[in-house]
Structure 1
Amino acid sequence: MAPPTPIRGLGPDSRLGDAARRILAGRLADVRKPETGVQDGADDESVHDMRVATRRLRAALQVFLSLGGMKKLERDVKRLQDALGDVRDVHVQAAWLEDMAGRVEKEKRGARAGVVELRDARLESLEAKEKRLHAELKRWEKRTVPRLKKKLEALDDEHRFGGRSVRGHLRGRVRRVRKRMETYVDAPDAASAHALRKELKKLRYELEIFQPALRRVMDAMVEVLVPLQDGLGELHDADVRLELFERLAAESKPKGRKAARALLPHVRDERAKHAAEIARELQRWHSEEIPRRLRRMLA
Structure 2
Amino acid sequence: MERELRVKEQSQAVHALPVKLKKNDTIESAFRRIARNCLAQVHGNERGVGSGHDASCVHQMRVGLRRLRSAFDLFEGVVSTPTFLQEELRWIAGELGAARDWDVMLNSTLRTAFDGAPGDTDTGAVTQAAADIGKRNRAAAAAAVGSARYTRLAMELTRWVDEAGWREEMNGDQLAALDRSIEAFAGETLRKRHRKLIKRGRHLPDLDAQRRHRARIAAKKLRYATEFFGSLYPSEVVRHYLQALGKLQDDLGWRNDVAVGEGLLKGLASDHEQTAAGVAYARGYLASRVAADHDSLKKLWKRFRRLSPPH
Calculate the TM-score normalised by the size of structure 2.
0.78
Return the letter of the residue paired with 1:208. E
User: 202-211 or 142-151: which moved more?
Assistant: 142-151
**Aligned partners of 1:162 and 1:213 also within 8 Å:** yes
How is 1:132-143 mapped onto 2 (pairs within 5 angstroms)? 132-135=144-147, 137-143=150-156
List per-residue Cα deviations over 1:47-79 (Å, max 9, x = no partner).
111111111111222222244342433443332
**Aligned partners of 1:101 and 1:111 also within 8 Å:** no
- Please name the residue that 2:193 is paired with: 173
| C-alpha distance in 2 between matches for 1:90 and 1:118 | 10
Return the letter of the residue paired with 2:37. G
- Please name the residue that 1:144 is paired with: 157
Superposition deviation, residue 200 in structure 1: 0.5
| C-alpha distance in 2 between matches for 1:274 and 1:248 | 26
Identity among equivalent pairs (%): 23
Superposition deviation, residue 261 in structure 1: 1.8
| C-alpha distance in 2 between matches for 1:10 and 1:278 | 36
- Please name the residue that 2:102 is paired with: 90
Please state if 1:107 is matched with 2:118: yes
| C-alpha distance in 2 between matches for 1:17 and 1:43 | 36
| C-alpha distance in 1 between matches for 2:228 and 2:165 | 16
**Aligned partners of 2:194 and 2:222 also within 8 Å:** yes
Please state if 1:38 is matched with 2:49: yes
Which of these residues, 222, 239, 263, is aligned with residue 243 of structure 1? 263
**CA root-mean-square deviation:** 3.1
How is 1:268-283 mapped onto 2 (pairs within 5 angstroms)? 268-283=287-302
| C-alpha distance in 2 between matches for 1:140 and 1:22 | 19
Structure 2, gaps ≥5 residues long: 1-12, 169-174
| C-alpha distance in 2 between matches for 1:259 and 1:241 | 14
| C-alpha distance in 1 between matches for 2:242 and 2:209 | 24
Calculate the TM-score normalised by the size of structure 1.
0.81
| C-alpha distance in 2 between matches for 1:101 and 1:208 | 33
Superposition deviation, residue 162 in structure 1: 0.7
Please state if 1:63 is matched with 2:68: no
Structure 1, gaps ≥5 residues long: none
Superposition deviation, residue 102 in structure 1: 6.0
Structure 2 residue matching 1:243: 3-state secondary structure: helix
Return the letter of the residue paired with 2:276. R
- Please name the residue that 2:219 is paired with: 200
Return the letter of the residue paired with 1:210. F
List per-residue Cα deviations over 1:136-162 (Å, max 9, x = no partner).
533433443333333369697321111
Distance 1:75 1:212, change over 3 A: farther
| C-alpha distance in 1 between matches for 2:82 and 2:294 | 36
| C-alpha distance in 1 between matches for 2:131 and 2:229 | 44
- Please name the residue that 1:80 is paired with: 92
**Aligned partners of 1:211 and 1:218 also within 8 Å:** yes
| C-alpha distance in 1 between matches for 2:155 and 2:28 | 25
Distance 1:209 1:110, change over 3 A: closer
| C-alpha distance in 1 between matches for 2:122 and 2:218 | 40
- Please name the residue that 1:294 is paired with: 308
Aligned residues: 287
